Amino acid sequence: EAQVTQNPRYLITVTGKKLTVTCSQNMNHEYMSWYRQDPGLGLRQIYYSMNVEVTDKGDVPEGYKVSRKEKRNFPLILESPSPNQTSLYFCASSSYLGGGNTEAFFGQGTRLTVV
C-alpha cells in the first residue's frame, strides 16, 4: 500500500528540548515536503526537497531543519522548540515527473505541543 508514515502522531515536549519527527514514503517519490497547519491559516510549507541531498526553504522555515540522506526519508528537526511551534505537522511526497500536476500524498499528521 502506498503511504507516507509519520512518527510520532502526538508529542508533548518542553521548550528547548531537541526533537525529530520522522517521515518515510514507500512510493519512490523524489519530492518531499513538510507543512504546518494552524487554525485559519491553512497549510504552510516549512521545507521541501527535490531529491536526495537537495533541500530548500518553504514559506516558514525559521526554527526548523531538515535532511534528505535517503530518498524515502525526510525528517523534520526542531533544535530548540518554542511554544509558537505548537502545531499540526504534515509530511507529503509526490513524484518529480509530470511537473506541478502530480498528486501529493500526505502522512497522518503529527500534533506537537511545546510547553
Partner 1 sequence: AQSVTQLDSQVPVFEEAPVELRCNYSSSVSVYLFWYVQYPNQGLQLLLKYLSGSTLVESINGFEAEFNKSQTSFHLRKPSVHISDTAEYFCAVSDERRQLTFGSGTQLTVLP
Piece in contact with partner 1 (CB under 8 A), picked from 14-22, 28-36, 61-69, 77-85: 28-36
CB of 110 to partner 1, least distance (A): 10
Binding mask 71-100 for partner 1 (x = CB under 8 A): -------------------x-x-x-x--xx
Residue 70 in the binding site for partner 1 (CB under 8 A): no
Which residues, at least 6 apart from 11, have a Cβ–Cβ distance to it below 8 Å?
19, 21, 110, 111, 112, 113
Asked whether 111 and 11 are in contact (CB, 8 A), the reply is: yes
- Binder of partner 1 out of 7, 22, 44, 61 (CB under 8 A): 44
Query: Smallest Cα–Cα separation from 91: which of 46, 55, 41?
Result: 46
Taking every pair of C-alpha atoms in the chain, what is the biggest distance, in angstroms? 42
Residue keyed to cell 515536549:
13
Residue 55 in the binding site for partner 1 (CB under 8 A): no
**What's at 95, amino acid-wise?**
S
- Which residues here bind partner 1, judged by CB under 8 A? 4, 31, 33, 35, 40-45, 48, 58, 90, 92, 94, 96, 99-104, 106-109
